[in-house]
Amino acid sequence: MYADHLVQPWYDRLLAELPDAQVLDPHTHVGDRDPSGVTASVEELLGAVDAARGRALVFPLSEPDGYRIANAAVLDAALRSDGRLSALVRVVPDEVDAVEGLLDAGARGLKLHLSSDEVDLADRRLEPVFAMADERRLPVVVHAGPEVDSIGRAVLDTCERWPGARMVLAHCALSDLGRLHPHVTDVPHLFFDTSWWTPAHLLALFRLVPPGRVLGASDLPYSTPVNGLLSAGRCAWQAGLDPRQVASVLGGQATRLVDGLDPLELGPPPAREAREVGPFLEAASSNLLAALEAMQRGLDPEVPLTVARHACDVRPDDPDADVLASVLQLLDLYEEHHERLQRRNTFSPGWDLVSAAAVVARTPAAPLPDRA
């Protein structure tokens, strides 16, 4: 999906350092009725999961008429995926009666979308759902994106009341990370996924939250497992995690949660980043993120892409020359291919090459592929 085949060498190089990694993306969607117009098919998801050499948890995109049919369809697709997909039930208070049957039929957890479904964690109608999650030790993925008002107190109260449930706050818990991170050690079954596109937020998560609590995720179709897990893995490496901890982020811990096992304790957050980020790396990354914001809205990258290219033009003896050369290789791939790539959803073709370049520039400690 998108330009995964061109980003693949950077992802494969990361996995080469983690030969025993169990790759599992805990945050993907399928559907074709989301009011935003964003769509993804089961076939596209399976192709993206295969490119990442892993598995994924999947749930429906927004459905204006409710989720009874969509949840059943996603579960059926997961059961016929040869183990590559596991279904989560997207829950709204008016459909709580359908949840137990879907779990009994093979669904492996729950999803609550607080904004698009207007769900309140404190809604008493959700209590039977949290009771099931508590009893069955299920992951519960909760949308915590930028448009959500603060949910920190409700999150802590829910975790304390239902300690068997494994709550996963999506999108780096953008709505509440500043309030929640001091309390993480008090709630051992609270987790965070990395489904966001700026390396600054991922690095903040890795520096503030113990590595065993962070789950790499893509948010397909807003990213892909190759692109999303590349970002998570590289930012984990840059933040100072060791290979065992990085492997946990890329799916080891998520696999344990889906299997109903106790999560592994993997130590505290790192004290410092693994490698200093030089001035030209900062210039390249910040301008590529500016270009990417426009590309996510279907526009051309324009001047920020040109400025980022200039930042990559350094002397061979510059301490970051190897990283900047890798950034430039991704930008060359964009220039060569973007006019022939298929346009999907709201994104300009080749957006994920620019995204990968922005992440590579901000993560010089992570391994790089050989230059072609």
> Percentage of residues in the chain with pLDDT exceeding 90?
99
Separate counts of helices (H) and strands (E) for the chain: 15, 9
Supply the pLDDT for residue 372.
58
d(CA 201, CA 229): 14
Mean pLDDT, rounded, for 79-88: 98
Strand duo 190-193 + 89-90: pairing = unpaired
Supply the pLDDT for residue 37.
94
Contact 139, 106 (CB under 8 A): no
Task: Kindly tell me if the per-residue pLDDT of 3 is higher than 90.
Answer: yes
Q: 263-289, pLDDT tens digit by residue? A: 999 999 999 999 999 999 999 999 999
Contact 139, 108 (CB under 8 A): yes
Task: Kindly tell me if the per-residue pLDDT of 363 is higher than 70.
Answer: yes
Helix (H, G, I), strand (E, B) or coil at 192: strand
Mean pLDDT, rounded, for 69-79: 98
- Specify the domain boundaries for CATH 3.20.20.140 within the chain: 4-258
- What are the tokens at 326? 């890798």
Supply the pLDDT for residue 371.
78
Mean pLDDT, rounded, for 23-36: 97
Contact 359, 348 (CB under 8 A): no
Q: 165-203, pLDDT tens digit by residue? A: 999 999 999 999 999 999 999 999 999 999 999 999 999
If you write DSSP's letter for every residue of 34-61 in order, what string do you get? -TT---B-HHHHHHHHHHTTSEEEEEE-
- What are the tokens at 111? 């999803």
Supply the pLDDT for residue 356.
98
Mean pLDDT of the chain: 97
Which residue is listed with tokens 């999650």? 133
- For residue 118, what are the CA distances in angstroms to 2, 10, 66, 126, 167? 30, 38, 12, 13, 18
Inter-axis angle of helices 351-362 and 303-311, nearest 10: 40
Mean pLDDT, rounded, for 233-244: 98
Task: Kindly tell me if the per-residue pLDDT of 47 is higher than 90.
Answer: yes
Which residue is listed with tokens 């061109």? 6
- What are the tokens at 16? 């080469």
Mean pLDDT, rounded, for 90-94: 97
With 0-12 / 13-18 / 19 or more C-beta atoms within 10 angstroms meaning exposed / middle / buried, residue 98 is: middle
Nearest alpha-carbon partner for 361 in 158, 203, 221, 241:
203
Q: 108-129, pLDDT tens digit by residue? A: 999 999 999 999 999 999 999 9
Mean pLDDT, rounded, for 287-313: 97
- For residue 56, what are the CA distances in angstroms to 206, 235, 262, 356? 22, 20, 19, 21
Task: Kindly tell me if the per-residue pLDDT of 71 is higher than 70.
Answer: yes
- Number of other residues whose CB lies within 10 A of the CB of residue 321: 15
Supply the pLDDT for residue 4.
97
Record: fold of 4-258? TIM Barrel (3.20.20)
Supply the pLDDT for residue 267.
97
- Number of other residues whose CB lies within 10 A of the CB of residue 161: 12
Contact 42, 72 (CB under 8 A): no
